[in-house]
Amino acid sequence: MHRELLPRDLGFEVRPGDEASLFAWFLAAFLFGNRISHAAAARTWQVIVREHGCDTPARLCACSHAQLVRMLGEGGYRRYDESTASRLAQLCRTLLDDYGGGILGVHAAAGDRAEFERRLLEFRGVGPVTLRIFMREAGPALFGEG
């Protein structure tokens, strides 16, 4: 069994009220939540965020489907690249259209942690594994738990 990935493994910390770190971790959780090696998921996150600068929902939404597929492939995320690219675009579009562009918007719309988690699970491609990974680090930042 491998150790669970942490934000610091990717070069950042999740901080309360910090949309950039919350979205970075949500993107990482989204990638790590699929059945793919941790190494490929981490590399893909680095490619998307660090190499291509797609570190916000708006920047990811500005990418074409082909660009998203190419970035996923560069990171080694080839097995699910087409479907993951579609889900990633849809996730970012929902954040922009329904939640003011980010995770803090989801938090503001939700009355409590249970509602927040329910809203995240409504995103296509976000299931229980992705939610668990994300909330492990984001829960304390968003809800003062720890």
pLDDT, tens digit, for every residue of 28-49? 999 999 888 889 999 999 999 9
- Work out the burial of residue 39: count CB atoms within 10 Å of its CB; fewer than 13 is exposed, 13-18 middle, 19 or more buried: exposed
Residue showing tokens 């296509």? 124
Q: Is the pLDDT of residue 3 over 70?
A: no
pLDDT digits (tens, 9 = 90+) for 69-90: 999 999 998 777 889 999 999 9
The percentage of the chain sitting over the pLDDT mark of 70, rounded to a whole number, equals: 97
Q: Is the pLDDT of residue 66 over 70?
A: yes
CA 14 – CA 19 distance, rounded (Å): 9
As a CATH number, domain 17-141 is 1.10.340.30
Q: Is the pLDDT of residue 1 over 50?
A: no
The contacts found for 96-102 with CB under 8 angstroms, 24 or more apart, are 96/57, 96/58, 96/61, 101/56, 101/57, 101/58, 102/19, 102/22, 102/23, 102/56, 102/57
pTM: 0.94
Mean pLDDT of the region 10-24: 96
Using CA atoms, how far residue 131 sits from 31, 70, 102, 108, in Å, is 11, 26, 16, 18
